[in-house]
Amino acid sequence: MKIYLNEDLIAGKTKIESKADLIALLAEKLEREIVDQVYLDGVEVSYDYFQENKLDFERLDEIKFITKAVTVLIRETLSEAASYLPKLKKAIINSANLFRQQQNQAAAQLLNQTLAGLEWYLEITQAIITLLEDDQLSIVGKEKLENFKQALNRAMIALQNDNYDYLADLLEAEIVAKLEELAEFNQDLA
């Protein structure tokens, strides 16, 4: 079996005993890169698929790993987040308006979808912060994320207590303001 990292042959005609050995070999070769794509005999699979599924190395002729520099991935992710954050802001404002109009079911459904998007953004921002070499920017980012999470917790308590007017106020004033701060931080990261 031949194993490629980008276009470089890293193991040719080598008998790889286990997936763990192959992952360890990859880890040795990667420098500020992550695996972006995996091809098993020319068929693209995700790296998650590669890691989570049992593979029969005896039947494979070639495994090719395509990497992406961490800095490129961060830039792409931040660009995607920058276009996504205004949509989240709009959805939060719409949720607040629906709560004010006592359309609680529709508001809760929209808020739930918005929270899923916020969760994605918070996770990627947290991951990017862990990769930062700038300690000051990392500290600022952690503080902004913590403040946002605290505001979200207050909103969730208001929702659990069916205090929809207070929830609408929190969404419009505090959550939107914190989201705008995160959007500015997103630009600083970029």
Domain range 72-189, CATH class: mainly alpha
Domain positions in the chain are: 2-69, 72-189
pLDDT tens for each residue of 1-51? 889 999 988 877 556 778 888 888 888 888 888 899 999 999 999 998 999
Return the pLDDT at 68: 92
pTM over 0.85: no
Element (H, E) at 150: helix 135-160
Return the pLDDT at 14: 57
* 102 C-beta neighbours (distance < 10 Å), count: 10
pLDDT tens for each residue of 97-148? 999 999 999 999 999 999 999 999 999 999 888 887 778 888 999 999 999 9
Return the pLDDT at 150: 96
pLDDT at 167 over 90: yes
Cα–Cα dist 185/132, whole Å: 13
Question: Hey, which CATH number is domain 2-69, 1.20.120, 3.10.20, 2.170.140, 3.90.1570?
Answer: 3.10.20
